[in-house]
Amino acid sequence: MSPRAAWRLEALGFSQVYDYVAGKVDWGAAGLPREGTATTEETMGEVADANVPTCRLAERLRDVQERVRATDWDTCIVVNEEQVVLGRLGRKALAETADVIVEEVMAEGPSTVRPTATLRETLERLRPKGNTTALVTTSDGRLVGVVCLDR
């Protein structure tokens, strides 16, 4: 629909017309703010804490453990240079004493939720499974943040 609108505006004499082809879906999936009657409920994108510690695959676990201990977090998200989530270090991995790199002890492919999911429906879905945190990523896998479900 937007390509036709863009051409129509050009036909009406507008010379600087841009078409955001990916539209509302892309905007919402990135966790960006929206306005309107359907946006009164809190979404995961809004409540996610972006300060969760992150690390890279090839980092020494000891260095990461030290960094995480300096915070009040008990998890660390493994991302690449594009901030795409590759894995996660949980309590067990963060207590590991062997001299290894992150890749060897991380949990592969952690479950994620989209920023557009509401906090209410996510709590209803994940709490019965015993999950205490939810990892929020964009539709292209980039880290938005983490939501603690037991607070």
Interface ranges with another protein (CB under 8 A): 1-10, 12-28, 30, 32-39
CB 58, min distance to another protein, A: 28
Residue 89 corresponds to which tokens in the numbers above?
């270090």
Our CB check for another protein shows the closer of 27 and 103 to be 27
Our CB check for another protein shows the closer of 18 and 92 to be 18
Dist. CA 47–CA 99, nearest whole Å: 35
CB 137, min distance to another protein, A: 15
Our CB check for another protein shows the closer of 8 and 127 to be 8
Dist. CA 14–CA 11, nearest whole Å: 7
- Please report the DSSP string for 121-139 in residue order: HHHHHHGGGT--EEEEE-T
CB 38, min distance to another protein, A: 4
CB 40, min distance to another protein, A: 10
Q: How many residues does the chain have?
A: 151
Residue 107 corresponds to which tokens in the numbers above?
């949990």
CB 84, min distance to another protein, A: 16
Our CB check for another protein shows the closer of 1 and 58 to be 1
Q: Strands 76-79 and 133-137: what pairing?
A: unpaired
Dist. CA 125–CA 84, nearest whole Å: 24
Dist. CA 80–CA 85, nearest whole Å: 7
3-class SS of residue 97: coil
Our CB check for another protein shows the closer of 22 and 100 to be 22
